[in-house]
Every structure is written in C-alpha cells, then in structure tokens.
Amino acid sequence: MKFLLPLLFFLPLCLFAQISEQSFEKMADKGEYEAMVQLAQEQLKMSHISPQDKARLQFFLAWGLDEGPGDDSLALSQYLAAENWQKNAPQALKEYAETLGLLGFFYSQKRSDFEQALIRFEALEQAYNRLGEADSLKVDNEINLAYSLRMLERMQEAEQRYKNLAQRLLKQPKAAHQDLVRVYKELANLALEQDQVDQALQLFQQALQLAKENFGPESKAYASQLNSLATYYYRLSFYEEAEPLLLEALKIYKTQNIQDKKYAAALGNLGALYIELDRLHDALPLMQEAAEMEKALLGEDNLDYATSLNNMGAVYMRLGEFEKSLAAVKQSVAIIKKAKGSSHGSYVNNLSNLAYVYTVAEKYELADAAYREVLAWVRQHRGEKSLTYARILYDYAILWEKKGDMEKAIALNREILSIQQAILGPDNPKLLRSKNSLAIYLFANEQDEEALDYIDQVVRHCTNKNVGLAAEEQWQQQVLEHAPVQNTDLLKSLGLYYDYLQRKQPQDYKNRLEQIEQTAISLLENERKNMSAEADKLRSLQAQQKWVLLASKQAMQEKNYLRAFSFSDFNKTVLLRQHLAQKAGRSLSKLPKEWQEKQAKLIDNWKELRIAAQKTAEQSEKDSLLRAANTAKLKIDELRLELAQKYPQLAQLEEIKPLDIQALQKELRANEALINYMVTPEKIYAFLLPKEGELIAKELPIQLEDLNKSINDFRKSLSDYPFIQSDSLKARTLYLQEGQLLYQQLLAPILGEQKQFDQLLIIPDAALAHIPFEALLRAAPQDNSSYAELPYLVKDYAIYYNYSLALWQENKQQQPKNNGQFLGFAASYEGQAGATSALRSMQEQRLRSHLSPLPAARQEIDFLAQEFSGQFFYDSLANEANFKRLAPNFSVIHLAMHGLLRPRQPLLSALAFSENNDSVENNFLEAHEIAKLDLNSDLLVLSACETGLGKFEQGNGVASLARSFMYAKVPALLVSLWQVNDVSTAYLMQAYYKNLAEGQSKSKALQAAKLQYLSNAEGIAQHPAFWAAFIQLGADHPIKLSPGFWSSKLMLLATVFASGLSILILLYIILRWKKKDQKAGLYQK
C-alpha cells in the first residue's frame, strides 16, 4: 500500500499594497486575522468607496478569512471578486499580482485544485514580467507553477521548469541557494515518481545539506527536508533509516511549537512507518492526530485529510477491525472523487487500498472491479514498468490467490519481481516481500525447489549474505548475529521453510525445526525491544507464542518432555517480569539504572496521558490529551534511538534458555509438586514436577472449545447466586457434573493415585486461571451428601497459584520484610450519594451510587485490630490518599472494600475506597495507579469482588487487580474469583489469619480456614460459592505476624468461645441469605 503522499511546499507571496487608512500588513504580521476581517468588513460598508479600493478590501477580507478561523468558501468568493475587477484594471496590476499569488496558493493548499492553481500562477508569471519584479518573487511563483504541473502529471514540463530554475539559481550569489533547496526537493520527488531512485536520493541529500547550511539545523525548512528524505527511505523500505529522520523533524516542529500542515504530514508519515514495523498501537494515535489537525486546518474535503483517513484504515485493517477500516477508506475515496474526480492519482491510490480491504472482507467482485480501474489508470499514466504498477499487482495477486487461481498469482508475482529488479536492482529490500509471496504461491502449486530458492535469497539478504537455508555450523548464532531489527521478511521465510520441513521431513529435519523455532523466538524477542505500547508488545508475544506452540507440539511428539515443559512457561509473564526487574534496579536488557529510570519516567508520563484520554468524555479535552501523549511518545522513541547508539549491546540477540528442572525441584518443599498447564488451540498439555522423581507430561483428553464451556458452566454453578438460590437442584447437578468432569480431564491424568505430596503449586493458562481447583471433585459423591461432605480437592491438597514458573522463582527470591505490621482498610459507602458532585465526574458519581454497604467489612478490620499490631482505618479515613501514603510501610495489607472490574479497559479496574471529598484523589484506586506503587509488603489480601479475575493476556498473565499489585512488587496475594458474601468472607479471613499467626504457610492457612468453615457451616452456607472464591497467589512461605497488645491476653478466652462463636456466625449467614436484599440479591463484595 502507498501511505505517503508528496508534501506541498509553498511559501506565501509577500506583496502588499499600502492602504493609507490602516496597515493591514501589520495585522497580518501579528497574526491578527480576525481584526483584519472585521476592519475590512467595516470599510466595505463605507459609502463612495472606489472600485479599486473595494477590490483591495475584498482581497484583505479574503486573506483574513483564509488564514484565520473564517469561512473558506467566503474567502474564495472574495478572492475571485477582487481578481475579477483587478485583471481588467491596468492601474491595479501590482494588486492583481498579489491576489493571484494568494488565490493560487489557496487553490493548491486548501482545495487541491491544481488546474485552477496553475491558471493563477501562469497569470502571475505574466504579471511579474510586466511589472519587472525581483527574481525572488519570480522564483516563488516558478516553484509553485512547476509543482502544479507535477500534480497534474505534466511531468516533462515540470521537470524542465525545475531544471531551468536550478541552473539559474546556481549562477546567483549564495543567498539564492535558499530557493535551491526547494527546487532540489521538487526535482527529487519528480525523479522518485519516475522510479529514478538513485538520482532522487542524491537530490534529497543535496536539499537537506543546503537547508542545513542556509536555514540552520533547528529550522522549519530543515525539518521539511528531513521529512522528505524519510519519505524516500520509506518508499524503498529502508525503515531504519527513515525513523530517526522523522523523529528529528517532529522534534524541531515541537520545539518551535509549529502545528501546521507539514507537522501533520510528518506525524502521518511516522505513523505509516510504524505500520510497516508492526507497531500498530504506536501508529494509530499519530494518524488520528494528523487527521484531526488536517481536518481543522484544511477542511474535510482536502486530499491530505483523505490520505490520513486512508492511513487510519490501514491500521484498522492490520488490527482486524474491518468495519472501521472499510469506513475510513471509503470516506477517503469519496472525498478525493468529489474534489478531484476519478482520474486523479490520489483517487486511484486510495481506490487500490479500498480494493485490498474488499479482498480481505471476501468481497471479490468489488475488489476485482476496483483493481481493474486502478491498473488501467496506472498503465496510462505511469506505465507497465513502474514501481506503482508493481505495487498494485502485488495486491492484485493476493486477490487471485484468495480466489484459488495460483497460476495467475504466480504469473503476477514474477512480473512484479521483474519490474522491481530492473528499477531497484537485485539487492533492494523491497524485493523481499515479493519473493516471500512468490514462494507461498509456488509451495501451494507444489513447485518446491523454486520456492526454496526464493526464501533462501531472502534469508541471505537479511543476514548480509552470511547464511542461507542450508544447515551450517552455528547456523542459529549466525542468523541472530546478522539479522536486522525489523524481521518481518526473515520471519516469514523461516516460517515457510519450517512448514516445508514438516511436510517433507528430509534427513535431520527435526534438528532444523528446533533451530528455526529458537531462532524465530529470539528474533521476536529482539523486535519487541523497540516497542513502547503494551498492546503492540502483547501482539508481538502472540506472534512469538505461535512459535512456542510449534516447539512444544514438536517436542511432545518426540517425547522430549523436558523441552516441551521448558516452552510451556516461556511466554507467560514476560512483561510483568521485565517490569519487576526494572523496579528492583536491574534490567533484563542490561540497561544502566539511570537510563532505566529516565526511560521509565517517560513511559509512565505517556501512559498517564493515554489513560486520562480514555477517561474523559469531552472530545476537545480528549484530543488535547492524545496530542500530549503523542508528544510524550516521540520523546520515548528519541530516547530509544539514543540508547541504541550509546549501548549497542541492547540490540544483541540472546538464545532462549530453557527452564532448569533441577533448580525448580530444589525450590519445591517436601511433599510439594507443581503442575504447569499449556493451552493451545489444538492441544492442552499438563506437566507435573514433584520434589523428587521424574517429570510427568500428558496431553489432556479435552478440546479447547469443550474446556471453555466446562469452565463457564463450573463458574456459573459457583458464582451465580440467583441461579443457586432459585433452582438449587439444577445448580447442584451442574456443579457436581462439571466439578467431577474437570478433575478427570485436568488432574486425574497426571495425579493418578500418587500420595507422596499434599501441596500443589498450579500454574494455570488461559481460562484455567478463572477457576479454583480446590473446589474440583475427586470422585462421585454419595447420594444425598451435604455440600460439606463432598470430596473436594481442598481436603487432600493445600493449593496455591502463580502466573508463571519464572515469576514463582523470582517471588521466592524476594526476602520477607517481616516487620509483621498490619495496614487495614474497611471502606464505607453509606450516605455518600451526591455528596461529591462538584469534585467528581458523572461517571465516578454513577459508579459510587451503585456501591452497596458492606457491614461485615468492618468486622474483618475489627478482628485484625484486636488480634494484630498495625494501623486500621474505617469510614472516611479509609480513603485512597491515606492508603497511598501509608501502604509502603507495612508487611501485611488488608483491603475490605468493593472491587470494580473493567474487562474492556483493565487499566481502569479499581478498588473503591471511602469517599472523603478529596480534591486530589477520587477514591477509586485504579489498576494503572496500583502498578506504579512501590510496596514492601509480604502479603496483600484483597477482600473484594473478583480481584483475581480478568482477561488472560499472553505474556502478561491475567489482567486483574491482583496482577497490578504484582507490578507494585507484592510477592503474595489472597484474591477472589467472583463476588463474595461479606459475612462468610469475614469468617474465612479470621480463620486464615489465625492459621498464619500459628506459623502455617499461606496455602496451608487458607486450606485450613476453608476446612474449618466447612466443618462448622450448615445448609446452604456449605456451598462452595461461599468459601471457594478466595485463592492464594504468589509466594507461599510463612510470615511473621505481630500480635496486638490484648491478643495474647485474650487467647485463652477466645479458645473457650471459638466453637460457639463459629456457630453464631454461620447462623447469621443463613439468616442473611434468607433475608436477602431484593434488589441486589446477596450482600456481595
């Protein structure tokens, strides 16, 4: 696709007649265009005004409207009125020249109507000759005139004018070389459009050097030439050369606070570049800002705005948002067709992109018709041997491949390569994509040898001809040593070769498969170093996961279980672990600490601006925040390039190191085993590693679709309180069915009859992170068994969880702070509705109005205050500001409050503290705020709704509030997987902490608390909905809790009354169940 259009480069003419009454020129110099309009309108109302003065005032009125916030249509009518009188008045020739200059500029810049612009510039040329004006004014006009010819595709005339002007300027004093910059740039653009790439590069470089010498390295003119040279590199696929030029140009514009058409063009160009680098979430906000700026500056009918819409369509296409893509590209095509008709080059360019969208959307007839129209135009205007023709053929071949005609697709790709090689030479990177595409079609047509030759050429090109497909000594190291930063083409070729080896299985193919797998994973690891947007990193991890899954599947087929086990954990928490490493003052990328801090500060600022833009509903504020976010993002990219120069070792690729089985077993405790799951679209694997003994690996007897259905049904039977209450028999049947089925499918194949351990560390994957394994049933229950009598897994094993084995190992390495001090918060929501309307947004008020009271939350904190040493807050003191101020100083943090889950915007999920009318904090502690905290606690308990639930993100774990606290360096958390009854929660929390105080590990303490609950519960209170939601996440070691002053004195009394108190609490739960709130169901957190 063609994403960049040439940029206009005009300088307004500066011929101003003097009007004695007022100095319009002074107003224009100061940018006082509204005052200029007002004055001109007032003077036009004067009586006895001469026709010449009237025409002159109409000119100034048009100028003010044109440059200011006025109506462009009115400006045009006033220009035309002035022109109409002046062209027939010899005495107004100079004034006529001024009108022609600005009117021609108006047509070219705001209307993209180059035919009308050319008419004015040619008339202005004649007027200058009659006036005998200075050469400087003639040069401006000649450049504008030649540019209009070029836009009208009268290439020979344009080229001749540019060359004549260049020769004339070279003979003049050095001061005239400022104009030579513009001439060289336009000649370069013209050469590039005619596929004269070497000549174009020489001219672009000359223009850049002249701009630096004549205008300075911080000038707008120099920035414009940087952008032009970057456009050249972009069009020839030299992306690494283009990016620093665009970043430097944008830095100059930002430094001088320039926000004009050229700045918008540079933003769009950088966005187009990021599309090619697969940094789509970096590209989209740049495209959006460019489009909004062009819309405001130039109007909705302008070609540049249409181009930005087209670019946005390209991003949406790559993100899989086809409806948005189709709408944007259609609008772009409609704008150009309306403004320029169907014969204009811009219309044809965007129509080709629309054809591609139609192809992806499987609207093949519409796509074919559009491509035929485009190709006919290109044959006529560019020729069948042009790069433009080759580009259109590339997309057209995809259409034929989709339609199943491989012969046609192959023929088109051969023609493409022939054109590209003739113009660019055999070693240009633009040929790589074409060679890969041709290889795809050849493989599909069973022409394997020729296909292998093409992908060998790609691999050799990407490794500076050091290594191809043939097996060589240290092949993997050679590829990694010479591979470029942008690896899309290389990865494509490796993928094609991998598929071929699997299909044909030549000698020693298994070793080659393993080499390719590890090489591809390392290449993607390196590519991710240049990404800032987390969404792009996650997309990269998804691409990497495809290779991880291939490696795991191959290893399982070969019964190489150690290798499969190693890959099963590889991608699970990459981003989280990198974040923790940076917080700990070390770096997985070997970056010095001071640079880490500088980089982290810039990234935090960028994220804050993006989040603020998400939260605001007011469009102008949103646009302002997004612009600020783009500025922050540009600084991040500038720093990245600076770091690449200062620390070249950052770009070095490293081989992926497998998990060390012996080190893992050493970390396990006696009677403990770990279970690691790997969920793939085709297979589901489970690995069991005991403290002593061999690794056990199994392919589980369940398909992904069936697994997801069972998990949803299991969760429904556990967490849907109205369902459990209204249809208790059906709910029980569903629970018994799914509880047994999931155990048989997920655990029985690997646990078998083993009895040598009583503690399990479970590393779930995908939707498995949403279920409590403790509530699975090991056997079919006896008829009429109570819920307390069911064979729960929790009765045999203490269970805890982590997002990955690598993270578990790092959690274990964190030394306990162990000051034993508690920080407890019991939020209150009574009587707060409407109290903060002046300080809170409508959305915040709405969220708080739906928070129901939590009477048992206070009981939780009361218990902690009586039993343990620390600080405890209730009511309005349980606010966000107090938490942020105090949280870093405590070993154990307990938060009894509502949690608000935002699945679509997980960074805005929040804990709801008490409202205290704070003007700084809104008392919703959001996930992105949590992640930036620097906590020192050993344990954090989230006694709130669904704090462990969230969307699974490959490479980053579950996007939950719990994960945000892990980002804040909390090694262990107690969290919930669904809405929890507040009274049963209070009971479980008290038992849990008492068990911890006795020295039990966290998982043992939670297991005992659940069993204690079951032994005392009666009736419906025994249902796992009331006790199974809480799971232990992270480090499991015991922690020391400091008792409160009265705790030890009352221990004996508490023991005497413990059993009686338990019965009273459970009776209270049952009464609360029966006397439920009709509106909200159970009292839930």
Residue 1050: pLDDT band by 50, 70, 90 thresholds?
very low
User: Both 972 and 1069 in a single domain?
Assistant: yes
**pLDDT tens-place string over residues 485-544:** 677 888 999 999 999 999 999 888 888 898 898 888 888 877 777 776 767 777 777 788
The C-alpha atoms of residue 33 and residue 31 are separated, in whole angstroms, by: 6
3-state helix, strand, coil in the chain (%, to 5): 65, 5, 30
The winner for highest mean pLDDT among 388-392, 640-644, 812-816 is 388-392
Q: Which residues 6+ apart lie within 8 Å of 859 measured at CB?
A: 986
Residue 371: pLDDT band by 50, 70, 90 thresholds?
very high
The winner for highest mean pLDDT among 182-186, 518-522, 771-775, 917-921 is 771-775
Mean pLDDT calculated for residue range 353-381: 92
What pLDDT score was predicted for residue 12?
34
Examine residue 1031 and state whether it is found in any structural domain, yes or no.
yes
The answer to whether the CB of 169 falls within 8 A of the CB of 139 is yes
CA-angle at 606, arms to 602 and 611, nearest 5°: 145
What pLDDT score was predicted for residue 276?
84
**Of 527, 545, 579, which one is at a domain's C-terminal end?**
579
Q: Which residues 6+ apart lie within 8 Å of 838 measured at CB?
A: none
The C-alpha atoms of residue 969 and residue 936 are separated, in whole angstroms, by: 7
Q: What is the CA radius of gyration of the chain?
A: 35
The C-alpha atoms of residue 1046 and residue 190 are separated, in whole angstroms, by: 88
Which is higher by pLDDT, 333 or 194?
Answer: 333
SS3 for 970-1016 is CCEEEEECCCCEHHHHHHHHHHHHHHHHCCCCHHHHHHHHHHHHHHH
User: Both 751 and 626 in a single domain?
Assistant: no
The answer to whether the CB of 936 falls within 8 A of the CB of 1039 is no
Residue 577: pLDDT band by 50, 70, 90 thresholds?
low
Q: What is the mean pLDDT of the chain?
A: 83
Share of the chain above pLDDT 90, in %: 35
The C-alpha atoms of residue 540 and residue 955 are separated, in whole angstroms, by: 9
The answer to whether the CB of 491 falls within 8 A of the CB of 524 is yes
The C-alpha atoms of residue 802 and residue 138 are separated, in whole angstroms, by: 73
Mean pLDDT calculated for residue range 319-331: 90
pLDDT exceeds 90 at position 635: no
Concatenate the DSSP letters of all residues of 240-298 into one string: HHHHHHHHHHHHHHHHTT--SHHHHHHHHHHHHHHHHTT-HHHHHHHHHHHHHHHHHHH
Residue 329, classed as helix, strand or coil, is: helix
SS3 for 420-477 is HHHHHCCCCCHHHHHHHHHHHHHHHCCCHHHHHHHHHHHHHHHCCCCCCCCCCCCHHH
- Is the sign of the CA dihedral 879, 880, 885, 890 positive or negative? positive
> At residue 958, what are phi and psi to the nearest 5 degrees?
-90, 125
The answer to whether the CB of 638 falls within 8 A of the CB of 608 is no
pLDDT exceeds 60 at position 691: yes
The C-alpha atoms of residue 69 and residue 747 are separated, in whole angstroms, by: 69
User: Both 559 and 688 in a single domain?
Assistant: no
The answer to whether the CB of 86 falls within 8 A of the CB of 92 is yes
Terminal CA-CA length for the chain: 52
Residue 172: pLDDT band by 50, 70, 90 thresholds?
confident
Mean pLDDT calculated for residue range 210-216: 89
User: Both 483 and 627 in a single domain?
Assistant: no
Examine residue 298 and state whether it is found in any structural domain, yes or no.
no
Q: Which residues 6+ apart lie within 8 Å of 956 measured at CB?
A: 534, 538, 541, 573, 574, 575, 576, 963
Mean pLDDT calculated for residue range 416-422: 93
> At residue 558, what are phi and psi to the nearest 5 degrees?
-85, 0
Number of H helices, E strands in the chain: 44, 16
Domain containing 894 — which CATH number?
A: 3.40.50.1460
Can you read off the two tokens belonging to residue 97? 């020249």
Q: Which of 911, 920, 837 is nearest to 881 (CA)?
A: 920
User: Both 637 and 691 in a single domain?
Assistant: no
User: Both 80 and 51 in a single domain?
Assistant: yes
Please provide the size of the chain in residues. Answer: 1085
H or E element at residue 941? strand 939-943
Q: Which amino acid is at 43?
A: Q
User: Both 454 and 564 in a single domain?
Assistant: yes
The C-alpha atoms of residue 19 and residue 40 are separated, in whole angstroms, by: 11
Bridging pattern class, strands 939-943 and 696-699: unpaired
The C-alpha atoms of residue 321 and residue 315 are separated, in whole angstroms, by: 9
Tokens 């805890």 correspond to 800
SS3 for 216-251 is CCCCHHHHHHHHHHHHHHHHCCCHHHHHHHHHHHHH
Q: Which amino acid is at 688?
A: L
Mean pLDDT calculated for residue range 254-269: 86
The answer to whether the CB of 677 falls within 8 A of the CB of 693 is no
What pLDDT score was predicted for residue 135?
67
Examine residue 117 and state whether it is found in any structural domain, yes or no.
yes
Bridging pattern class, strands 939-943 and 892-896: parallel
pLDDT exceeds 70 at position 1077: no
Residue 573: pLDDT band by 50, 70, 90 thresholds?
low
What pLDDT score was predicted for residue 1010?
96
**Of 555, 579, 603, which one is at a domain's C-terminal end?**
579
pLDDT exceeds 80 at position 667: yes
Examine residue 1057 and state whether it is found in any structural domain, yes or no.
yes
**pLDDT tens-place string over residues 964-996:** 888 788 889 999 888 877 788 889 999 999 999
Q: Which residues 6+ apart lie within 8 Å of 121 measured at CB?
A: 100, 104, 141, 144, 145, 148
Concatenate the DSSP letters of all residues of 824-837 into one string: EEE---TT-TTTTT
**Of 522, 544, 579, which one is at a domain's C-terminal end?**
579
Number of domains in the chain: 5
User: Both 831 and 753 in a single domain?
Assistant: no
Query: How buried is 534 (Cβ within 10 angstroms: 0-12 exposed, 13-18 middle, 19+ buried)?
Result: middle
The C-alpha atoms of residue 351 and residue 971 are separated, in whole angstroms, by: 55
The C-alpha atoms of residue 60 and residue 370 are separated, in whole angstroms, by: 45
Q: Which amino acid is at 952?
A: F
The C-alpha atoms of residue 265 and residue 183 are separated, in whole angstroms, by: 20
pLDDT exceeds 50 at position 100: yes
The model carries a pTM of 0.70
The C-alpha atoms of residue 138 and residue 100 are separated, in whole angstroms, by: 13
Examine residue 424 and state whether it is found in any structural domain, yes or no.
no
Residue 1032: pLDDT band by 50, 70, 90 thresholds?
very high
Q: Which of 321, 309, 230 is nearest to 276 (CA)?
A: 230
User: Both 64 and 40 in a single domain?
Assistant: yes
What pLDDT score was predicted for residue 1053?
40
The answer to whether the CB of 40 falls within 8 A of the CB of 62 is no
User: Both 753 and 854 in a single domain?
Assistant: no
The answer to whether the CB of 927 falls within 8 A of the CB of 908 is yes
Can you read off the two tokens belonging to residue 822? 């508690």
Examine residue 866 and state whether it is found in any structural domain, yes or no.
yes
The answer to whether the CB of 865 falls within 8 A of the CB of 900 is no
Task: For residue 966, give its domain range.
Answer: 805-811+818-1074
Can you read off the two tokens belonging to residue 88? 């027939």
Can you read off the two tokens belonging to residue 147? 């540019």
What pLDDT score was predicted for residue 1048?
41
Examine residue 328 and state whether it is found in any structural domain, yes or no.
no
Pinpoint the alpha helices (H) of 836-981.
842-849, 855-867, 880-886, 927-932, 961-967
Range from 592-601, 949-958, 1052-1061 carrying the lowest mean pLDDT = 1052-1061
CA 635 vs. chain centroid, Å, equals: 17
What pLDDT score was predicted for residue 436?
92
Domain containing 44 — which CATH number?
A: 1.25.40.10
Q: Which residues 6+ apart lie within 8 Å of 377 measured at CB?
A: 343, 345, 348
Residue 21: pLDDT band by 50, 70, 90 thresholds?
very low
Q: Which residues 6+ apart lie within 8 Å of 702 measured at CB?
A: 684, 710, 745, 746
Residue 550: pLDDT band by 50, 70, 90 thresholds?
confident
How far is residue 795 from each of residues 51, 378, 776, measured CA to CA in Å? 101, 75, 10
Mean pLDDT calculated for residue range 426-430: 86
H or E element at residue 1035? none
The C-alpha atoms of residue 323 and residue 720 are separated, in whole angstroms, by: 35
The answer to whether the CB of 145 falls within 8 A of the CB of 118 is yes
User: Both 867 and 778 in a single domain?
Assistant: no
The C-alpha atoms of residue 181 and residue 523 are separated, in whole angstroms, by: 41
CA-angle at 683, arms to 678 and 688, nearest 5°: 40
The C-alpha atoms of residue 923 and residue 607 are separated, in whole angstroms, by: 20
Examine residue 986 and state whether it is found in any structural domain, yes or no.
yes
User: Both 823 and 758 in a single domain?
Assistant: no
pLDDT exceeds 50 at position 357: yes
Mean pLDDT calculated for residue range 68-87: 88
